[in-house]
Each structure stands twice: as C-alpha cells, then as structure tokens.
C-alpha cells in the first residue's frame, strides 16, 4: 500500500468557516438515515456524488462526525450541489447500521462513500470488496484495498501539545483523560496527552478512564463528575458524543461556582462553542483534526479522476492536519501559545518522537 502525506492549504481552511454554523442537530438529526429518506443518487452524466456513513456518535456529535459532514457540505457547495443531489449522509445508531447504510448509499449510486471512524473498518472492507468499481474511504484506520483511500492523523502529536498546555494551566496538578472506546486509536490521544503533560511537569497526575462507546453522554458526565470531585481541573476528552457529558458537567460546576477554575479540552473540531456558560467558557482549548479538509480533499481527487485508492493519507502537525485551538484567548495565554509552538517545532524537526502506545510511553517517561 502506498503512503502519501498532504500539504493542507490554509486558503481552503479559511473558506470553510462560513459553513460551521450550518451544521449540527438540524435536519440531519431528524433522520435515522438521510440516505433512505430522499438521497436517490440521481445525477447527470459526468457528475460525481459523495456519501458518508457516521459511526454511533451521529452527524451532530459536535466532534468527529460533524467535522466530516462539514467537509462534505463544503465540497458540495464548492461544486454547486445540494444535499440529496450530489452529497448526503447516512446516520448510524449502532454498529448494526454500518453495513446497511453502506449498501443503501451504493444502491443509490453514490460514487464515493466514506466510513467515518475506525469502527466502520469491517463494513468498508466488505462493501469495497463487493463493489470493486466504486470508491470508498475510511477515516482513522487503514483498509488495504485498491479502491479504498485510508485517511489517518497524527493524533498523538496534537494531543502532546494539549498535554503541554494543560500542564501549564493546571492549578491542582491533576488532569483527566476521558476516552471513548479503549483502542489503539484512542490510546494515541491518551498517550500523547500524558507525554506532553509529563514533559512539562513529571509530578502531574493524569486520571485515565474510558466510557466504552462514543455515544453515552450520561456516562461521560458521570466519569467527569468523579474526576472533578477528585481534584482534576482540566479534562481532555476523546470520546465523540460521549464527550458532551464532560462539557455538561464542567458547565454545571461553573454555573454553581463561577469562581471555580474548571476546564475541558475539546477534540477533533474547535469545541469552543460547547463550553459557553453565561459569561464564562469552560473550553480551555481543543485538539483539532482537520477531518473536514481531508474528506474534501479526497472528494475532489475522486471528482478529478485522481482518487487515491490503496493509499494511506497522513495528516500531522507539519501540514496542519492536527493543531491546537487558541480561540479562548483569556484561558490559553500568549505564554502557553508560545510554549506549545516551541514544542511543535521540536516535534516537526524530529527532536522529539511522540509516543503512540502505552509501551512507548513508558520508554518516553524513562527518558525524561
């Protein structure tokens, strides 16, 4: 399998800003499967249509799936298309929906179908084998097939910077990490975060817990409650829609005690808006993955007859595929921004190799 690394264009990134407010729980949240309710795939000769299947978090998870949908909407707007006439999504409630949703989009003549998240690996593998003449793409894992483009990110690198920032901000020296599913992918977020925090202060304690899925906001809130009660003042979540529960608990605490410093680090997209509570905002920063840009890039490649089937596309710090948001200027100070940028350069130039697994983390800690 070939491996390609993209240089992302900031002009394209800026062009997506207008779309951010258009997404969320609107009409997409009303449909269990938009592809079933009117995405008929009707296209004129020479047109190229794009569909995506969400994981269990749903299209309005305010995180990973939503970012992908924003990218597809941007692609549609770029080419004068409308939802249901050139692009659409199919929403999954759980894993039993993955294959039926894939099949429905294929049956409705979509030329490129994205599986959003590593949970869809088996579904993409099977549907791609059954339809060798169609294009497929999987986000956050690798499927070795000639008609599948695998989109990956250096989550550990961005999470390292989040850990650095958290270590500089914490007043209790206690941090939390809430993951969705305990897996190789989410372990990259966890390990990078811990490595970054300990690089600044080896005495920091990081409480690590997993929800078990990417959809249970109530469970995410319960875990966050315990962490904040135990003294953590910053929690980094990589839990999809379950992470909304972390925000809910932080906002509850802030509402009850406005003087208390309690923070959340968002994930995948800038989750600044999720932290608003009155005159305050509990979103310290977010580890942003440009899922939106990646799906838009791949969609354009398919449209132009250059679909990168069989390739692994990697997006990292060097090409702004992952980054740290600085939207909350009152929280993430100039000093924190400057320091994280210094660490960023050290990672890019190879001075620091950020660990990706728990075994690698042990060796990294021993070297501090």
Tell me if 2-153+290-315 shares its fold with 155-289+333-367: yes
Sequence-ordered list of residues with C-beta below 8 angstroms from that of 340, at least 6 positions apart, any chain: 161, 164, 165, 324
CB 296 within 8 A of CB 72: yes
The architecture of the domain spanning 155-289+333-367 is 3-Layer(aba) Sandwich (3.40)
DSSP-derived pairing of the beta strands 276-277 and 280-281:
antiparallel
Measure the CA–CA gap between 126 and 26, rounded to whole angstroms. 31
The domain ranges of the chain are 2-153+290-315, 155-289+333-367
Nearest to 206 by CA among 187, 217, 186, 190: 190
Nearest to 72 by CA among 92, 55, 50: 50
CB atoms within 10 A of CB 46: 6
Total-model pTM: 0.83
| Coil, strand or helix at 112 | strand
Query: What pLDDT does residue 47 have?
Result: 86
- Tokens 């409650």: give the residue: 225
Ordered per-residue pLDDT tens for the chain, 368 residues: 555 554 444 334 434 444 443 343 333 333 444 444 433 333 333 489 999 999 998 999 888 899 999 999 999 999 999 999 999 999 999 999 999 999 999 999 999 999 999 999 999 999 999 999 999 999 999 999 999 999 999 999 999 999 999 999 999 999 999 999 999 999 999 999 999 999 999 999 999 999 999 999 999 999 999 999 999 999 999 999 999 999 999 999 999 999 999 999 999 999 999 999 999 999 999 999 999 999 999 999 999 999 999 999 999 999 889 999 999 999 999 999 999 999 999 999 999 999 999 999 999 999 99
- Tokens 């305990």: give the residue: 182
Report whether CATH 3.40.50.2300 matches the domain 2-153+290-315.
yes
Query: What pLDDT does residue 25 have?
Result: 37
Measure the CA–CA gap between 115 and 97, rounded to whole angstroms. 12
Can you list the alpha helix ranges (DSSP code H) found in the chain?
10-15, 64-78, 98-107, 121-130, 155-169, 184-200, 217-229, 244-256, 291-303, 334-348, 358-367
Measure the CA–CA gap between 312 and 305, rounded to whole angstroms. 18
């Amino acid at each position: 399998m070939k491996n390609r690394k993209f240089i992302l264009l900031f002009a394209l990134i800026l062009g997506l800003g207008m779309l951010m407010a258009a997404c969320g729980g609107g009409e997409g949240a009303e449909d269990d499967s938009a592809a079933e309710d009117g995405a008929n795939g009707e296209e004129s000769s020479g047109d190229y249509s794009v569909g995506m299947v969400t994981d269990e978090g749903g299209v309005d998870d305010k995180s990973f799936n939503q970012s992908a949908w924003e990218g597809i909407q941007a692609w549609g707007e770029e080419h004068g298309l409308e939802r249901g006439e050139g692009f659409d999504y199919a929403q999954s409630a759980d894993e039993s929906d993955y294959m039926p949703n894939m099949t429905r989009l294929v049956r409705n003549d979509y030329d490129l179908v994205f599986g959003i998240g590593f949970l869809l690996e088996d579904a993409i593998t099977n549907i791609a084998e059954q339809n060798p003449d169609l294009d497929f793409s999987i986000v956050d894992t690798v499927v070795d097939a000639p008609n599948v483009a695998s989109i990956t990110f250096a989550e550990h690198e961005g999470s390292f910077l989040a850990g650095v920032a958290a270590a500089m901000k914490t007043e209790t020296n206690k941090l939390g990490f809430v993951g969705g599913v305990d897996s190789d992918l989410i372990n990259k977020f966890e390990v990078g975060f811990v490595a970054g925090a300990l690089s600044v202060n080896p005495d920091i304690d990081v409480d690590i817990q997993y929800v078990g899925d990417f959809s249970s906001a109530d469970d995410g809130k319960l875990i966050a409650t315990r962490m904040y009660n135990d003294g953590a003042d910053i929690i980094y979540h990589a839990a999809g829609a379950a992470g909304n529960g972390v925000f809910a608990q932080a906002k509850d605490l802030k509402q009850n005690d406005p003087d208390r410093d309690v923070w959340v680090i968002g994930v995948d997209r800038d989750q600044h808006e999720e932290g608003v509570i009155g005159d305050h905002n509990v979103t310290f920063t977010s580890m942003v993955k440009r899922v939106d840009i990646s799906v838009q890039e791949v969609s354009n490649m398919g449209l132009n007859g250059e679909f990168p089937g069989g390739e692994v596309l990697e997006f990292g710090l060097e090409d702004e595929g992952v980054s740290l948001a600085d939207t909350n200027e009152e929280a993430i100070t100039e000093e924190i921004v400057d320091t994280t940028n210094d660490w960023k350069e050290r990672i890019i130039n190879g001075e620091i190799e950020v660990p990706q697994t728990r075994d690698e983390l042990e060796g990294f800690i021993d070297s501090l």
